[in-house]
């Protein structure tokens, strides 16, 4: 594979300009500029507080009321409620408006792709779920998270399901839970049916989502990886883009030749 160093953004832009159908795979790095920390980076949630990972373990969550109380506080204070899409989200939405996006597959739970305008002409596949809804672990009832957070604000530190009294959590995938098979199937088809796959802001360390990259490559897609740090699949990428995502994505997906990196 050709990795062009300082000129990787220009080469990646040429690949994307020639593409007919593009699948975009995004991770936490796309949302950090919006004020949402990642998990494993230098300022990541788990880096700063390794114990915080217990909130995202389904067995710990079910077994320990204190973990649930902590998780509800975390949801209440999550930066997603005040975050706004950044230039990376808007660049991906602009690419969709060009009519060439097969799907946006995201590991993020914040809903910022939709807030930027993605999801109108091509699906946004939230493979790790969304913080914007709750789900009952007993009856599977889903409701807007804002309704449940209002109950938390009023003093319910571990609010039960209003339908059956069961245990609630955010409609996100915790460690120990299976991905939604329907969403995963759509993501796999989107990976196989594109001629370019862009992986942006993801360490590509979590399967089965990371396996979508070699799946696309084996189906004949050209792979462009935009990430500050190396990933396990850099060797199959045709181009590696290390520049900050906001600048890089805005440039490489633009159909305006004058809109370059500064």
Q: What average pLDDT does the structure give for the chain?
A: 90
Which residue is catalytic, options 89, 90, 113, 128?
Answer: 128
**Residue 219 pairs with which residues in a beta bridge?**
none
pLDDT in tens, 98-128: 999 999 999 999 999 999 999 999 999 999 9
pLDDT value of residue 40: 55
DSSP 44-71: -HHHH-GGGGGGGBHHHHHH-HHHHHHH
- How large is the average pLDDT for residues 201-230? 96
Do 44 and 38 touch, CB atoms closer than 8 A? Answer: yes
Average pLDDT on 157-168 reads 97
Give percent of the chain with pLDDT exceeding 70: 89
Helix%, strand%, coil% for the chain, nearest 5: 40, 20, 40
- Sequence-distant (≥ 6) Cβ neighbours of residue 119 within 8 angstroms: 104, 113
* DSSP run (H or E) holding 72: helix 65-76
Q: Options 2.40.320.10, 1.10.10.60, 3.40.50.2020, 3.40.50.1220; which CATH number does 1-36+85-128+179-262 get? A: 3.40.50.1220
* d(C-alpha 103, C-alpha 85), whole Å: 18
Question: What pLDDT is attached to residue 52?
Answer: 72
**Residue 3 annotated in active site:** no
pLDDT digit string, tens, across residues 66-101: 999 999 999 999 999 999 999 999 999 999 999 999
Residues 252 and 16: beta-carbon distance below 8 Å: yes
- The alpha carbons of the chain give a radius of gyration, in whole angstroms, of 19
Backbone angles phi, psi at 130, to 5 degrees: -140, 140
Question: What digits encode the pLDDT tens for the residues 28-55?
Answer: 999 999 999 866 555 555 555 666 778 8
Rounded-to-integer distance, Cα 24 and Cα 91, Å: 11
- Is 6 a residue whose pLDDT tops 60? no
CATH 3.30.1600.10 in the chain, residue ranges: 37-82+131-172
Helix axis angle for 8-17 and 245-252, nearest 10°, is: 40
* pLDDT score for 254: 81
Give the CATH class of 37-82+131-172: alpha beta
Which tops the pLDDT comparison, 117 or 8? 117
Q: How far apart are CA 29 and CA 40, in angstroms?
A: 10
With 0.85 as the threshold, say if the pTM is over it.
yes
Residues carrying CATH 3.40.50.1220, the chain: 1-36+85-128+179-262
Distance CA 133, CA 130 (A): 6
């Amino acid at each position: 594979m050709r990795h062009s160093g300082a000129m990787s953004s220009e080469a990646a832009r040429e690949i994307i300009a020639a593409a007919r159908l593009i699948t975009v795979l995004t991770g936490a790095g796309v949302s950090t500029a919006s004020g949402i920390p990642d998990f494993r980076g230098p300022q990541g949630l788990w880096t700063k507080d390794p114990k915080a990972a217990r909130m995202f373990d389904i067995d710990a969550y079910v077994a320990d009321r204190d973990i649930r109380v902590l998780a509800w506080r975390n949801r209440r204070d999550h930066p997603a409620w005040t975050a706004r899409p950044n230039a990376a989200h808007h660049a991906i939405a602009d690419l969709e408006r060009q009519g060439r996006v097969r799907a946006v597959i995201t590991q993020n739970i914040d809903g910022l792709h939709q807030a930027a305008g993605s999801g109108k002409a091509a699906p946004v596949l939230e493979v790790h779920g969304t913080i914007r809804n709750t789900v009952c672990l007993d009856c599977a009832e889903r409701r807007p998270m804002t309704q449940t957070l209002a109950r938390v604000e009023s003093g319910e530190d571990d609010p039960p399901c209003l339908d059956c009294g069961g245990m609630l959590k955010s409609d996100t995938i915790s460690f120990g839970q299976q991905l939604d098979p329907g969403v995963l199937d759509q993501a796999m088809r989107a990976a196989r049916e594109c001629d370019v796959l862009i992986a942006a802001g993801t360490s590509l360390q979590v399967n089965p989502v990371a396996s979508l990259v070699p799946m696309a490559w084996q189906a004949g897609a050209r792979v462009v990886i935009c990430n500050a740090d190396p990933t396990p699949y850099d060797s199959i990428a045709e181009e590696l883009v290390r520049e900050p995502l906001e600048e890089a994505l805005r440039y490489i997906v633009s159909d305006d030749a004058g809109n370059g990196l500064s």
